[in-house]
């Protein structure tokens, strides 16, 4: 019987093939008391299991192909760090010894406590790190049970679509000839999703019930760009998706021909299209796709899932690698954005707890000046290798800006005293992520060198909606009149002060928002690299001057229905034929972009 499932698309296009259901749920954890004197043997069992899993991860890393994406090795390193995190392993051993319980019980309980801390974090990317803890724990439990991840092999040389409740990056890398992945539990910011995106494999996450409803050998059509899974399609549907697949391949080729085309509107306005990245290795892909620079490099990856704070030299090496990879194009690095309910290594949370509106992002950094100064010194040193900008997250108060600038000056003095080379003129900007910052954008623009609008958080804080909460996620609306007024006001304020301003949230990569932002006067967009060429095509087809007139009238209304209708009519100003001379040109030397 044919039926359809839906999930969150990660990309990779349309694939068709047989299903292989991977049993990857956590084992039913045995829980029992152990006799006095048996704790040592139980701790040794756990240590042996850690050794087995470590060898598995090392083996996967050793067998990575030469052309494997850099993210693959980095994600294996993350799981190895979690595996050896004292917050997990030492705590489990202590529970075995103090409570006289078996190793499985202890590691499962401590892993749940650690994962729960991540799940409480508001930021979607950081929230997903709890999934990494669960995945590592699943491997440990399987090792304790003397088993490995059961994978059913297909026929020789047969590519399969793997369906799982959850699957680790390491297991994904072990599967050969994969056509695609359907994963129930992962989110768009999970490491499994990040790896699938970097491998350019068709993937859908958040597909509820998939591993229960899909059976081995079911025929699947997987559309990684729309999030649709068709199970046991009939011939009519097969034919329709074959045609869609051919059109998608043609579309990828046409987009690939825009890589080297300057990003300029029809009326001659230059638009900088930049990329958001999370690890230095991703800079190479951004450069390949023609990014004008890195508009947002999230530095949290250096601080999470580890047993100690990253040293200044380690941070410097990572930041310098990204700067050098971009070959002279600017790299904007955001200082650490974490802290309200997840302590960094060696920094315990307050015993009173901290709310979601508490000590996070810049507040956390200012409360830990030694940590902040180490990061600032590393950033300044990396700036000696090329254009680098420092971005301060979650600003809301004037004193936060003044205190941050004072610490930047102190970091420079410390480097001078050490005789270390650094970038003397490094621009310092601020994130506009809360209504207070947007309403204060004029003053912020006077004190800072640039502004960057984080629309993801701005929408959440303006509408008081947690988009990761399925009960209210449907109310998340980046086109809400209040949100658009704040975005437009920030762009105007920066323009009046003569300072650059960008949008670096998901809105920047939304094709439906491109004309609106251009009409507001935005000239710098930063997005996931996969969106760069689609947004470039919209820019090439747009007349910013004509859009500005229409958008001014549009923003005068606070009626959501009228605003939506006006947004749809902006598409009428697009010139679809404007890019034909590039898209239709035969350029076999340009690689197609999926």
CATH at 71: 1.10.274.10
Query: What pLDDT is recorded for position 468?
Result: 61
Encode 110-129 in three state secondary structure.
HHHHHHHHHHCCCCHHHHCH
Q: Looking at 80-89, 198-207, 208-217, 292-301, which range is the least confident one?
A: 80-89
pTM of the full structure: 0.73
350 and 404, same domain (yes or no): yes
Whether residue 259 is found in the same domain as residue 284: yes
- Is 70 domain-assigned? yes
Mean pLDDT of 508-517: 94
The last residue of one of the domains, among 476, 500, 524, is 500
**Does one domain contain both 422 and 543?**
yes
Indicate whether 33 and 109 sit together in one domain: yes
The DSSP code for 33 is: B
- pLDDT(154) > 60: no
Does 155 fall in a domain? no
Q: Does residue 381 sit in the same domain as residue 362? A: yes
Based on the domain organization, do 368 and 488 belong to the same domain? no
Q: Would 292 be classed as within a structural domain? A: yes
**Angle in degrees, CA 228, 291, 580, rounded to 5:** 70
Query: Which of the four pLDDT bands, split at 50, 70 and 90, describes residue 74?
Result: confident
In a shared domain, residues 467 and 571: no
Q: Are residues 356 and 415 in the same domain?
A: yes
User: What domain count does the chain have?
Assistant: 3
With 70 as the cut, is the pLDDT of residue 591 above it?
no
Quick one: pLDDT band at residue 26, thresholds 50, 70, 90?
Answer: very low
φ/ψ region of 146 (left if φ > 0, alpha if ψ in -120 to 50, else beta) reads left
pLDDT tier at 78 (50, 70, 90 boundaries)?
confident
Mean pLDDT calculated for residue range 261-285: 93
Whether 563 is covered by a domain: the verdict is: yes
Active site residue: 79, 191, 385, 528, which one?
191
Pair 478, 534 in one domain? no
Residue at which a domain ends, from 121, 144, 167: 144
Q: C-alpha distances in angstroms, 63 versus 60, 79, 170?
A: 5, 17, 11
Whether 215 is in a domain gets the answer no
Percentage above 90 pLDDT, the chain:
52
504 is catalytic: yes
> What are the DSSP calls for 54-86, one per residue?
HHHHHHHHHT--TTS-HHHHHHHHHHHHHHT-T
Is the pLDDT reported for residue 69 higher than 90? no
Lowest-confidence range among 166-170, 187-191, 269-273? 187-191
Decide if 528 is catalytic. Answer: no
Catalytic residue, from 79, 504, 514, 528: name it: 504
Picking from 473, 500, 527, the residue at the C-terminal end of a domain is 500
In a domain, 207, yes or no: no
The verdict on 350 and 467 lying in the same domain is: no
Where does the pLDDT of residue 128 fall: very low under 50, low under 70, confident under 90, or very high at 90 and above?
Answer: low
Residues of the chain above pLDDT 70, percent: 87
Using DSSP's 3-state secondary structure scheme, residue 184 falls into: coil
- Return the CATH number at 294: 3.20.20.60
- Residue 167 domain-assigned? no
Domain containing 358 equals 255-430+501-583
Confidence tier at 345 by pLDDT (50, 70, 90): low
Q: Are residues 516 and 468 in the same domain?
A: no
Residues 67 and 102 in one domain: yes
18 found inside a domain: no
Do the Cβ atoms of 180 and 161 come closer than 8 Å? yes
């Amino acid at each position: 019987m044919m039926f359809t499932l839906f999930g969150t698309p990660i990309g990779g296009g349309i694939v068709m093939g047989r299903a292989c259901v991977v049993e990857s749920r956590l084992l039913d954890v045995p829980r029992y008391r152990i006799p006095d004197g048996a704790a040592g043997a139980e701790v040794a069992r756990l240590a042996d299991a850690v050794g087995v899993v470590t060898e598995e991860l090392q083996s996967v890393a050793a067998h990575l192909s030469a052309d494997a994406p850099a993210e693959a090795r980095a994600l294996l390193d993350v799981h190895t760090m979690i595996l050896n995190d004292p917050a997990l392993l030492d705590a489990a051993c202590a529970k075995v010894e103090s409570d006289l319980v078996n190793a499985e019980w202890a590691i499962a309980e401590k892993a749940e406590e650690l994962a729960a801390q991540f799940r409480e974090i508001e930021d979607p990317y950081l929230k997903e790190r709890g999934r990494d803890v669960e995945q590592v724990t699943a491997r440990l439990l399987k090792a304790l049970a003397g088993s490995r991840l059961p994978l059913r092999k297909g026929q020789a040389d047969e590519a399969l679509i793997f369906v799982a409740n959850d699957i680790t990056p390491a297991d994904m890398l072990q599967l050969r000839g994969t056509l695609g992945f359907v994963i129930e539990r992962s989110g768009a910011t999970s490491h499994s999703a990040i790896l699938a995106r970097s491998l350019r494999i068709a993937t859908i996450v958040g597909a509820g019930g998939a591993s229960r409803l899909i059976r081995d050998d079911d025929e699947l059509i997987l559309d990684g760009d729309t999030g649709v899974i068709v199970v046991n399609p009939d011939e009519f549907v097969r034919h329709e998706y074959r045609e869609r697949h051919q059109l998608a391949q043609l579309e990828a080729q046409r987009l690939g021909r825009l890589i080297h085309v300057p990003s300029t509107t029809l009326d001659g306005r230059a638009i900088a299209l930049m990329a958001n990245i999370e690890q230095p290795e991703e800079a190479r892909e951004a450069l390949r796709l023609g990014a004008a620079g890195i508009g947002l490099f999230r530095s949290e990856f250096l601080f999470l899932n580890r047993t100690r704070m990253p040293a200044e030299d380690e941070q410097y090496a990572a930041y310098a690698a990204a700067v050098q990879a971009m070959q002279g194009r600017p790299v904007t690095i955001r200082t650490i954005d974490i802290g309200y309910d997840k302590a960094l290594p060696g920094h315990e949370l307050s015993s009173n707890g901290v709310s979601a509106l508490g000590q996070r992002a810049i507040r956390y950094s200012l409360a830990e000046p030694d940590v902040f100064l180490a990061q600032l010194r590393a950033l300044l040193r990396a700036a000696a290798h090329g254009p680098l900008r420092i971005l301060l997250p979650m600003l809301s108060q004037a004193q936060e800006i003044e205190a941050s600038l004072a610490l930047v000056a102190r970091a420079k003095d410390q480097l001078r005293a050490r005789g270390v080379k650094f970038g003397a003129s490094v621009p310092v900007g601020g994130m506009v992520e809360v209504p207070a910052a947007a309403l204060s954008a004029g003053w912020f623009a006077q004190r800072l060198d640039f502004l960057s609008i984080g629309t993801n958080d701005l929408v959440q804080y303006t509408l008081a909606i947690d988009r990761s909460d399925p009960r209210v996620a449907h109310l998340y609306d980046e086109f809400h009149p209040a949100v658009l007024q704040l975005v437009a006001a920030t762009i105007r304020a920066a323009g009046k002060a003569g300072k650059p301003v960008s949008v670096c949230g998901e809105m920047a990569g939304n094709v439906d928002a491109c004309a609106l932002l251009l009409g507001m006067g935005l000239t710098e967009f930063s997005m996931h690299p996969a969106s760069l060429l689609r947004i470039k095509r919209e820019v090439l087809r747009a007349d910013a001057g004509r859009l500005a007139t229409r958008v001014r009238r549009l923003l005068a209304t606070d009626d959501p229905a009228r605003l939506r209708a006006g947004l749809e009519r902006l598409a009428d100003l697009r010139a679809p034929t404007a890019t034909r001379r590039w898209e239709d040109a035969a350029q076999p030397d340009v690689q197609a972009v999926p």
